[in-house]
């Protein structure tokens, strides 16, 4: 990507470009954290794309099926190198049946473009496929019921890198209660052999706390570096 294009994308994210003031200290090598993988029960373990989408549409594994308007399966390139994982659908996503629309989606698009990835070149999905009422945090039993669908999507896409946005998505996917500050800047893996996982802030959080956009930019550069190693 040319410096002019990168500057334009950083401006779209409302991040001021840096000016070098001396040589930065070399960053320490990030550690790799491995967590156990969970197997998907029942049909989800072996479903193809059509079968998996049918299972999601018909799912009644938790009470969220009673209040949803649409399930939000996921969208993007099903052979993508990057798989973006969010938390749960919001009101806009519930109406449209697509993840990351509205202002948070626009910011996510800008974040991806900043590292040279148009939205249609990644696959995007949430831990939950149905919207929690009033956009509350997902309950543990809801995430546990829905996680097998995401795990199967990850297996079908077989990405080079998984980018997890937000604390709740990261904690559920990585089976941890560690805060986001401890999860950022590391390479995580599920089951030891899966794709590397990198954690950053959720775009909705960045809209509320724009001062952390620079940290998110560092996470994106780190993710791009990790993806390039493969």
Q: Which domains does the chain have, with CATH numbers?
A: 43-229 (3.40.470.10)
pLDDT computed for residue 45 by the predictor: 86
* Residue of 52, 53, 35 lying closest to 43 (CA atoms): 52
pLDDT computed for residue 37 by the predictor:
44
- pTM listed for this prediction: 0.84
Give residue 29's pLDDT: 44
pLDDT computed for residue 150 by the predictor: 97
Cα–Cα nearest to 165, from 208, 94, 219, 226: 219
pLDDT in tens, the chain (230 residues): 455 545 544 555 555 544 444 444 444 445 555 544 444 456 788 899 999 999 999 999 999 999 999 999 999 999 999 999 999 999 999 999 999 999 999 999 999 999 999 999 999 999 999 999 998 999 999 999 999 999 999 999 999 999 999 999 999 999 999 999 999 999 999 877 789 999 999 999 999 999 999 999 999 999 999 999 86
Can you spell out the DSSP letters for 121-136? GSEEEES-SSPPGGGP
Question: Cβ atoms within 10 A of the Cβ of 37, count?
Answer: 16
**What's residue 33's pLDDT?**
57
């Amino acid at each position: 990507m040319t410096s002019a294009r990168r500057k334009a994308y950083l401006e779209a994210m409302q991040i001021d470009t840096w000016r070098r003031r001396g040589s930065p200290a070399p960053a320490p090598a990030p550690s790799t954290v491995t967590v156990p993988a969970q197997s998907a029960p029942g049909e989800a373990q072996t479903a193809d794309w059509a079968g998996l989408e049918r299972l999601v549409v018909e799912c009644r594994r938790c009470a969220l099926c009673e209040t949803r308007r649409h399930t939000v399966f996921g969208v993007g390139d099903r052979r993508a190198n990057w798989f973006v994982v969010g938390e749960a659908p919001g009101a806009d996503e519930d109406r449209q049946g697509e993840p990351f629309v509205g202002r948070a989606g626009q910011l996510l698009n800008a974040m991806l473009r900043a590292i040279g990835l148009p939205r249609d070149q990644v696959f995007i999905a949430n831990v939950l496929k149905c919207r929690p009422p009033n956009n509350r945090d997902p309950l543990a039993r809801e995430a546990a019921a829905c996680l097998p669908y995401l795990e199967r999507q990850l297996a079908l896409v077989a990405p080079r890198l998984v980018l997890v946005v937000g604390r709740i998505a990261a904690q559920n996917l990585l089976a941890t209660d560690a805060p986001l500050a401890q999860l950022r800047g590391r390479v995580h893996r599920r089951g030891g052999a899966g794709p590397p996982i990198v954690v950053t802030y959720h775009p909705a959080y960045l809209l509320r706390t724009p001062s952390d956009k620079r940290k998110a930019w560092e996470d994106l550069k780190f993710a791009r570096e990790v993806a390039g190693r493969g």
